[in-house]
Amino acid sequence: MPSQPSIPAAARHVVFAVAPELVLLDACGPVEAFWRAELAMRAASGTRGGTSGAEPCAYRTTLASVAGGVLPTFAGMPIVTERLDTLDPATIDTLIVPGVPIDDTTALQPELVAWIAAAAPHARRVASVCTGAFYLAGAGLLDGRRAATHWRNASQLARRFPRVEVDPEPIFIRDERDGRVVWTSAGVTAGIDLALALIEEDCGHAVAMQAARRLVVFMKRPGGQSQFSEALAAQATAGGEFDALHGWMAANLHGELSVERLAEEARMSPRTFARRYVDAVGRTPARTVAAMRVEAAAHALAQSRRPLKRIAADCGFGTEQNLRRAFERCYGVLPLDYRARFAAS
């Protein structure tokens, strides 16, 4: 992702166009990320931080709704918003639409769809978090584009807007064509990943990493990373029966994870374990181990500069050749190509 000059010429106006029943974290997570970047930029420029009224040097954010005033949120905590029709679209640098609960019977707020369609051409870039993608699609902004949303709503988005190329896997997607940049992301905490990517595009990697550290984010995730954690998916499918085992597997990927060893850890005979595991999880223990190892290797490639030989050993592949084969099979690319595309630095 390209790095821009460390100090922007003027603060970028980020507008969150929100609907009633807003999913609170879809908006407040990115707002907080932009503010943490603002603090980092103030520190770099020597200006005063805090909330004492100093002019922003990186970002200023506005939450706005059709009616303005107090807006109910899905979490039950009301927020105060400005009226969208009081904003000058020409001043908007980044337009972000957070999500709301959506099912097959949910109607989009027509006034908000119309405002987005009218304002979007004036913004440098447009983005959505979670089901905010439905509003971008309703405004015609995702036609012919690849787009992400929360995995639970991906099939619904595809059915409702067949001209959108919905991808349920990535955390976020940047789609640039016809002179317009549109970002879409998965739900809730993925909005923070999206905001950090926007910050990195604007202000450089160092500022984005400072913002991530200030947020105490475990790691800055690349957009191409799957929404699904293999360990979490396995735990969810198993309904709790093998939760402890999956946690142990994730912590011991470098070791022997044969059926016999896993059965010993689960305190079952190998035959009983293999049968019950397939019944609970829907796949063999070996396939879960393979998926966890590839996912761990992908994290290591994106978040570290460790050599392939070390990553192969740490993740249980044994040799670099085995790691390369697994990556080509799962991702269609070689490990170093994956690192070049998704490395955090």
Catalytic residues: 130
Give how far the C-alpha of residue 50 lies from the chain's centroid of Cα atoms, to the nearest Å.
28
Residue 114: is it exposed, middle or buried by C-beta count within 10 angstroms (0-12/13-18/19+)? middle
Nearest alpha-carbon partner for 92 in 14, 178, 39 = 14
Nearest alpha-carbon partner for 35 in 48, 24, 49 = 49
E-only strand ranges, 86-124: 94-97
Q: Strand order of the sheet with strand 79-83?
A: 69-71, 79-83, 59-65, 12-17, 94-97, 125-129, 180-185, 172-177
The length of the chain, given as a count of residues: 345
Nearest alpha-carbon partner for 96 in 6, 12, 179, 30 = 30
For residue 181, how many C-alpha atoms fall within 13 Å in the half-sphere facing its CB?
Answer: 10
Long-range contacts of 157-161 (CB under 8 A, 24+ apart): 157/131, 157/133, 160/134, 161/134, 161/137
Structural contact between residues 29 and 189, judged by C-beta atoms closer than 8 angstroms: yes
Q: Record the tokens describing residue 12, joined without a space.
A: 């970028």
Structural contact between residues 335 and 309, judged by C-beta atoms closer than 8 angstroms: no
Distance, in Å, from the CA atom of 58 to the CA atom of 185, rounded to the nearest integer, reads 22
